[in-house]
Amino acid sequence: MAIIDDLIQIVGPERASDDKTVRYAYSRDSSFITGLPDYVVRPVSTEEVAKIVSLASQHRIPIVPRGNGSGMEGGCVPLHGGIVLDMHNMDKILEVDTGSLYAVVEPGVIHAHLNARLGEQGFFFAPDPASTDFCTIGGMIGTNASGMTCLKYGDTRKSVLGLEVVLPDGTVINTGAKTVKSDCGYNLTALIVGADGTLGVVTKAILKIIPRPRARATVTAYFDEVEKIEEAVASIFANGIIPAACELLDRPVIRIINRYKPEIALPDVDAILIFNLEGSAAAVEEEVDGVVSSCKKAGAIEVKAAATKEEADALWEGRRSVGSAIYRLDPQKAGPNIGGDYGVPIRRLAEMLREVRRIAEESGITMVAFGHVGDGNLHTHMAVNVLDEEELARAEKAGDAIYEAALKLGGTTTPEHGIGAAKIRWVREESKSAYPLMRAIKKVFDPQNIMNPGKIFEIS
Ligand SMILES: Cc1cc2nc3c(=O)[nH]c(=O)nc-3n(C[C@H](O)[C@H](O)[C@H](O)COP(=O)(O)OP(=O)(O)OC[C@H]3O[C@@H](n4cnc5c(N)ncnc54)[C@H](O)[C@@H]3O)c2cc1C
């Protein structure tokens, strides 16, 4: 029997396809990496996933789990064909227990939908990617996504208590527990979070949830030199304050936000830091004073707290719009994600930002920098015409130079977007001594190398 017939027998004709148009729709994510699957299947239960994976194992066919394809590094792109498992029909919130601080969800739940549901009970799931409206919990687990609030609340890994996973031979395992703490042997939950779907298919997740803060304030600080933000951030920490969010916009980003959303009217300065302070009303008031005085001491031209919720919301809307506004940088050059996600220790931020500007100047490529600087995470976007081979090569060289600089400064080449196919070279460089052990672990889980092959490790 043909494989498509076996797949149809498992999920029915409506949810399995080998049609070329359907396959094309699953051939890319938010990177420029492409690969055509042979089959697309949309399971609705763990049992179906286990049967599909067993079938793939029997025939040694690649299996590629996919959330909503918003990943930036080609993680869900089927580089070696096989079956794409579109998980977004598994989108049930199965249990919410606010008294025990957990929720159990299926992997296809959209992040914003989960937080809307938890919000009704005064709770939230803390990791906060800018892609909240469309990324899935499974995709966040695959990439260990984070975002704006990870400085205070941690990345996805810190908020996953346990998992149900279908292993590459079709076996179903459970890791972790519905408790905030568990010391039960090796931490397989933490290993599978951030594994880019290379160790198994996540079919359920136990997530840690926390009460929404009672009060929140937004503060903005304007700087005439981007390097001054390093001192501001370090001095806020030294003042005993961990903001919920601490975001950087550099001058070119400020200008494109103003072009995209003129009503926000940000001042034309070299850099802006936007902070959120969250907690009890008294603590937030005290923290606002601390942030204002630290930023002033670090040389901010002006620091101010948003007077109204509407003003604060507009600022955050501006920050969240960067992903869309960025393409206004040069509409002819909506370039790929090159040198886009890296992090350095806070005390190396000024040096890193200087390096980025130097690399931009030397390469002749227009670049903007922004990001979650409270945890040292920067994003660069380059305006590149992908049809111009020489320009693309120059941009790629500049991207390499950015990652090399981040490593030299004691940082990381992948703080939140995962590794996928795009960053294999960099995980090898950054984790030189540990990489062989990672490969050995992959072999234990997946001796046939059918689970998302060509991600984290090249196919040898
Ligand atoms: C405009 C924009 C803004 C963004 N902002 C942020 C941000 O602030 N922070 C951030 O961290 N990221 C951000 N991202 C990147 C992206 O949204 C995240 O990586 C997100 O977690 C991917 O979710 P997804 O559902 O689209 O996953 P996909 O892209 O479909 O998959 C991502 C990875 O997870 C694996 N995977 C998916 N489902 C499963 C499963 N059930 N079991 C096992 N593995 C699975 C896939 O194989 C793949 O390796 C942004 C992207 C865009 C386009």
Ligand 1 centre to CA of 31 (Å) is: 11
Q: Is the pLDDT of residue 325 over 90?
A: no
Residue 323: predicted pLDDT: 79
Lateral strand order in the sheet of 16-17: 16-17, 39-41, 83-86, 63-66
3-88: CATH architecture: 2-Layer Sandwich (3.30)
Backbone phi and psi for residue 247, each to the nearest 5 degrees, phi listed first: -115, 140
pTM over 0.75: yes
The CATH code for residues 91-211 is 3.30.465.10
Residue 330: predicted pLDDT: 81
pLDDT digits over 99-124, tens only? 999 999 999 999 999 999 999 999 99
Q: In the numeric block, which tokens belong to residue 155?
A: 């990345």
3-state secondary structure labels for all residues of 239-261: CCCCCCEEEEEEHHHHHHHHHHC
Q: Is the CB of 149 under 6 A from ligand 1?
A: no
Residue 125: predicted pLDDT: 98
> Which residue lies with its CA nearest to atom 1 of ligand 1?
323
Q: Report domain 215-325's class.
A: alpha beta
Cα four-point dihedral sign 105, 109, 114, 117:
negative
pLDDT digits over 52-90, tens only? 999 999 999 999 999 999 999 999 999 999 999 999 999
Q: Which residues contact 99 (CB under 8 A, 6 or more apart)?
A: none
Measured N-to-C along each axis, helices 228-238 and 349-363 cross at an angle, to the nearest 10 degrees, of 160
> Which residue lies with its CA nearest to atom 24 of ligand 1?
139
Lateral strand order in the sheet of 367-372: 302-305, 215-223, 271-279, 245-250, 367-372, 377-382, 341-343
Interval 283-304 mean pLDDT: 96
CB 77 within 8 A of CB 59: no
pLDDT digits over 381-418, tens only? 998 998 899 999 999 999 999 999 999 999 999 999 99
Q: Is the pLDDT of residue 299 over 90?
A: yes
Amino acid at site 123: F
- 91-211 and 215-325 agree in CATH topology: no
333-418: CATH architecture: 2-Layer Sandwich (3.30)
CB 246 within 8 A of CB 296: no
Q: Is the CB of 343 under 6 A from ligand 1?
A: no
Q: Binning pLDDT at 50, 70 and 90, where does residue 183 land?
A: very high
Q: Is the pLDDT of residue 1 over 90?
A: no
Q: In the numeric block, which tokens belong to residue 300?
A: 């901010």
Residue 460: predicted pLDDT: 64
Give the integer Cα–Cα distance in Å for 57 and 448: 8
Strand partners, 212: none
Q: Is the CB of 67 under 6 A from ligand 1?
A: yes
CB 438 within 8 A of CB 456: yes
Q: In the numeric block, which tokens belong to residue 321?
A: 């719009």
Ligand 1 centre to CA of 417 (Å) is: 7
> 276: exposed, middle or buried (C-beta count within 10 Å: 0-12, 13-18, 19+)?
buried
Q: Return the ligand 1 atom nearest residue 90 CA.
A: 41
Are β-strands 172-176 and 245-250 bridged in parallel, bridged antiparallel, or unpaired? unpaired
> Which residue lies with its CA nearest to atom 19 of ligand 1?
71
Pocket-testing residue among 42, 135, 207, 260, ligand 1, by greatest number of atoms within 8 A of Cβ = 135
Ligand 1 centre to CA of 76 (Å) is: 9
Domain ranges, ordered by start, for the chain: 3-88, 91-211, 215-325, 333-418
3-state secondary structure of 170: coil
Residue 220: predicted pLDDT: 97
pLDDT digits over 227-252, tens only? 999 999 999 999 999 999 999 999 98
Cα four-point dihedral sign 243, 247, 248, 249:
negative
From residue 322, alpha-carbon distances to 139, 144, 179, 186 in Å are 21, 21, 37, 39
pLDDT digits over 249-280, tens only? 999 899 999 999 998 889 999 999 999 999 99
How many percent of the chain have pLDDT more than 70? Answer: 100
As a whole number, the mean pLDDT across the chain is 95
Give the integer Cα–Cα distance in Å for 176 and 185: 10
Among 129-138, 190-199, 379-388, the least confident range: 379-388
Tokens 């149900």 -> residue: 164
Interval 410-435 mean pLDDT: 95
Q: Is the pLDDT of residue 225 over 90?
A: yes
Give the integer Cα–Cα distance in Å for 219 and 277: 8
Q: Count Cβ atoms below 10 Å from residue 439 Cβ, excluding itself.
A: 12
Are β-strands 271-279 and 215-223 bridged in parallel, bridged antiparallel, or unpaired? antiparallel
Among 170-179, 200-209, 336-345, the least confident range: 336-345
Q: Is the CB of 197 under 6 A from ligand 1?
A: yes
Give the integer Cα–Cα distance in Å for 438 and 414: 16
